[in-house]
Structure 1
Amino acid sequence: MRFELVPEDEGCLLTFTHALGGPGDLLATARHAAGWDGRLDVLEGVLAGHEVESTMKDWFRRAERYVEEFGIATGECVAVADGFLLRAQRDLVHPKEKVWAELTKDDPAVLGAAPPLRATHGYQAAGTVTELDAPDGLTYTWLHEDEPAGVVRWQLTAQPFGSLLTVTQTIPAHLADLRAVTLAAWQTHLELFFAALFGEIRCPWPTDRTEDLRQRYAKTLDA
């Protein structure tokens, strides 16, 4: 981190730099950028002689903007032996226990039963939970034409300050056309879930947002 002060005719120019480069740091850039925005606002207020309050709600709004600006929420598609593996990740400031509680709120995860509603995106039918390791994660099947077509895995990994959420879904080769809409659905879903962690429930589902993302993913996958 570097703070540089350069004199100007009136006051000075503060240039702040925070260099990141470790494993997983790309996902954390929105967290740091939003946090420093708030801290520098407070500093500016102190120097101006008035109090500036920086709340977690302010941080959430800023972080959400940076996630979009930096493209952090964009999912990926990796070819595997029998098809494709889709992956979406989010850096969260909440401990995994808090995230798990939100995921299973009013809808507990049970082996052999349907997964919690908040663990599904609705663009493909969910099957049943096949693996359960609370609060670290769960796995369930998803269905195509009423038959198991692949698996969805929610995994929570503890970090020094919060947790890392990773959602993966397998897509068989013959259903490759579903990749774009599935990636779009998960990105939209995790945006809504991120907001819910801060007490902001957004309904109904933003179909226009999902369609816009689907078109973007389709172009990328075609390329």
Structure 2
Amino acid sequence: MEYDPPKVYAFSWHDSVLRFELTPDGDGCLLVFTYTMSDEGTWDDRPAVARTAPGWDACLDTLATHLDGAPAPRVDRAWILDRAERYVEAFGLGEGTTHPTPGGHLVRFERDLTQSPHEVWATLTEDTDPTIGQAPPLRATHGYLTPGPVTEANPGAALEYTWLDGDAPAGRVRFELRHQDPLGTRLVVTRTFPAHLADRRATALAAWQTHLELFFAALHGDVRCPWPTERTDHLERVYRARLATS
């Protein structure tokens, strides 16, 4: 798309544009790399930043060490997790949304994961076999709701269960897993609320964001205990303020 050596090199990749620009800087130069994402599909949409940006960090770090004649940087699961979590926080990729429904509200989270649906399912269920009518796996729940029985268990694709208000069913929690292009899993977690329990949405948003942060780390081999209550409390205040102005 652009080729002006030794200043600019730009080309299309899938539906996106990659641009490398060099400008003099003292005895060296400054490289400005721009990746304009198309926001199409799971290859280049917003959630994919958590996967794509750390990959380019690794590429550019490797380029810098190669030019310096130094060993290539070590890129392991801990490095990838650290970089991905930084981007998730910076771009709000871990945040949930709330939507009106005919009977109340729906809370929704969408996360980009590099592991396969099989790996994500195994981690979510801790290699158990969820059964309709039985309690859901512990890793699919948290202490801010009372889970009811499983209503759907489709290995590698979907897990759904009811949640209770007192002893009565109040709504449903659903995990949907689908293969994403070019790799990994797109995870969507939803929870429904009846209209009379709408005031619980801020707590639910905070708890599920915390839950998915812990789950994301666990997928990279970092199992974190105990539950970070201060993080959830902070997020609840943020969501409550946001809902008050929406």
* TM-score category, normalised to shorter length: over 0.9
**What CA deviation, in whole Å up to 9, does each residue of 1:5-27 have, x standing for no partner?**
22233111111111112235111
> How far, CA to CA, are the matches of 1:38 and 1:81 in structure 2?
46
- Cα deviation per residue 1:182-221 (whole Å; 9 max; x = unaligned)? 0100000000000000111100000110010001000111
Alignment correspondent of 1:11: 28
Structure 2 partner of 1:208: 230
Number of the residue aligned with 1:68: 89
Residue in 2 that maps onto 1:217: 239
Task: Give secondary structure in 2 for the equivalent of 1:22.
Answer: coil
Q: Distance in 2 between matches of 1:86 and 1:197?
A: 23
Letter in 2 for 1:37: D
Q: Describe how 1:40-119 pairs up with structure 2 within 5 A.
A: 40-51=60-71, 52-119=73-140
Residue 172 in structure 1 maps to residue 194 in structure 2? yes
Q: Is the 8 A contact 1:107 1:117 kept in 2?
A: no
Greater shift after overlay, 2-11 or 127-136? 2-11
Structure 1 unaligned residues grouped into runs of 5+: none
Q: How does 1:142-153 map to 2 (within 5 A)?
A: 142-153=163-174
Give SS of 2:224's match. coil
Deviation of 1:106 (Å): 4.8
User: Unaligned regions of 5+ residues in structure 2, if any?
Assistant: 1-17
1:108 Cα deviation from its structure 2 partner: 2.8
Instruction: Supply the AA of the counterpart residue of 2:186.
Output: L
2:19 paired residue number: 2
* Alignment coverage as a number of residue pairs: 223
Q: Which deviates the most, 127-136 or 28-37?
A: 28-37
TM normalised by structure 2 equals 0.88
Superposed CA offset, 1:6-65 (max 9, x none): 223311111111111223511111221111112111111111111122223211100101
- 8 Å CA contact 2:151–2:161 kept in 1: the answer is yes
- Bigger Rg, which one: 2
CA contact (8 A) 2:77 2:221 kept: no
State the TM-score, normalizing by the size of structure 1.
0.97
Q: Which amino acid aligns with 2:55?
A: G
Name the aligned partner's letter for residue 202 of structure 1. Answer: R
Contact 1:42 1:54 in 2 (8 A): no
Task: Find the residue that maps to 2:36 and give its secondary structure.
Answer: coil
SS in 1 for 2:173: strand
User: How is 1:32-47 mapped onto 2 (pairs within 5 angstroms)?
Assistant: 32-47=52-67
1:22 aligns with 2:39: yes
Kept after mapping to 2: 8 A contact 1:92/1:162: yes
- Aligned residue number for residue 213 of structure 2: 191
Q: Answer whether contact 1:129 1:138 (CA < 8 A) is retained.
A: yes
Output the CA distance in 1 between the equivalents of 2:195 and 2:232: 23
